[in-house]
Structure 1
Amino acid sequence: MVSVLLTTNPKPNSGFKYGFEFKEQALGQPASDQAVVKIQAAAFNHRDIWILKGQYPAIIPGSVPGSDGVGIVTSETASFKQGQRVLINPGSGWDEDERAPEQDFKILGLLPCIGTFTDSVVVDTKELLPCPEHLSTAEAAALPLAGLTAYRALFTKAKVRAGEHVLITGIGGGVALFALQFAVAAGAHVYVTSSNPDKIEKAIQLGAKGGVNYKDENCISELKKLLNGNLLSAIIDGAGGPLYEQYPRVMRTGGIIANYGQTVRDPAVHFTALAFIKNIELRGTTMGSRAEFKKMVAFVDAHKIKPIVSQVWQGLTEESVDEAVRTMANGEQFGKLVIQIGDIDSPHTPKL
Structure 2
Amino acid sequence: MKGIVLNSKHPDKIEIKEVELPRLKPHEVKVKIKAAALNHRDEWCRRGLYPARIDGVVLGSDGTGVVEEIGELVEKDWLGKDVIINPAKHWGNSQKAQSEEFQILGMPEHGTFAEYVQVPADRLKEKPLHLKYEEAAALPLGGLTAYRAVFTQGKISEEDKVLVTGFGGGVAQFAAQYAIAAGAKVYVNSSKEEKIRKAISLGAHGGFNYKDKVWAADAISQIGGFDLIIDGTAGDTFDDLTKILNPGGRLIFYGATLGNPSSINARRVFWNQLTIQGSTMGSDHDFEEMVNFVQEKKVIPVVDSVRPYSNAIEAFEKMSEGAQMGKLVLTF
* Bin for the TM-score computed over the shorter chain: over 0.9
Cα offset for 1:247? 2.3
CA root-mean-square deviation? 1.6
Partner of 1:238: 232
C-alpha spacing 1:96/1:253, structure 2 compared with 1 (3 Å): farther
Check if 1:149 corresponds to 2:140: no
Residues 19-168 of structure 1 aligned to structure 2 (within 5 Å) = 19-76=13-70, 77-78=74-75, 80-95=77-92, 97-111=94-108, 113-168=109-164
What per-residue deviation string (whole Å, max 9, x for no partner) do you get for residues 66-125 of structure 1? 0000010012441643210011111101145221113510111111x2310111111100
Larger deviation: 186-195 or 57-66? 57-66
C-alpha spacing 1:172/1:269, structure 2 compared with 1 (3 Å): farther
- Return the alpha-carbon distance in structure 2 between the equivalents of residues 141 and 269 of structure 1: 39
Residues 1-352 of structure 1 aligned to structure 2 (within 5 Å) = 1-11=1-11, 19-76=13-70, 77-78=74-75, 80-95=77-92, 97-111=94-108, 113-227=109-223, 229=224, 231-265=225-259, 268=262, 270-314=264-308, 316-317=309-310, 320-341=311-332
Identical pairs, percent: 42
- Return the alpha-carbon distance in structure 2 between the equivalents of residues 114 and 152 of structure 1: 25
- Return the alpha-carbon distance in structure 2 between the equivalents of residues 104 and 168 of structure 1: 30
Q: Check the 8 A contact 1:96/1:292 in 2, yes or no.
A: no
- Return the alpha-carbon distance in structure 2 between the equivalents of residues 269 and 235 of structure 1: 19
Partner of 1:347: none
- Over 3 Å off, 4+ runs: 266-269
Q: Check the 8 A contact 1:66/1:108 in 2, yes or no.
A: yes
- Return the alpha-carbon distance in structure 2 between the equivalents of residues 290 and 50 of structure 1: 25
C-alpha spacing 1:5/1:269, structure 2 compared with 1 (3 Å): farther
Unaligned runs of 5+ in 1: 342-352
- Return the alpha-carbon distance in structure 1 between the equivalents of residues 182 and 163 of structure 2: 14
TM normalised by structure 1 equals 0.90
- Return the alpha-carbon distance in structure 2 between the equivalents of residues 247 and 276 of structure 1: 15
User: For 1:321, what is the secondary structure of its paired residue?
Assistant: helix
Report the AA paired with residue 125 of structure 1: A
- Return the alpha-carbon distance in structure 1 between the equivalents of residues 53 and 263 of structure 2: 26
Unaligned runs of 5+ in 2: none
User: For 2:98, what is the secondary structure of its paired residue?
Assistant: coil
Q: Check the 8 A contact 1:210/1:226 in 2, yes or no.
A: no
What per-residue deviation string (whole Å, max 9, x for no partner) do you get for residues 203-233 of structure 1? 1111111111112111111111231x3x311
TM normalised by structure 2 equals 0.95
Equivalent residues, number? 329
What per-residue deviation string (whole Å, max 9, x for no partner) do you get for residues 177-226 of structure 1? 10011000001111111111111111111111111111211111111123
Q: Check the 8 A contact 1:248/1:278 in 2, yes or no.
A: no
Cα offset for 1:245? 2.3
C-alpha spacing 1:79/1:55, structure 2 compared with 1 (3 Å): same
User: For 1:74, what is the secondary structure of its paired residue?
Assistant: strand
- Return the alpha-carbon distance in structure 1 between the equivalents of residues 233 and 302 of structure 2: 20
Report the AA paired with residue 2 of structure 1: K
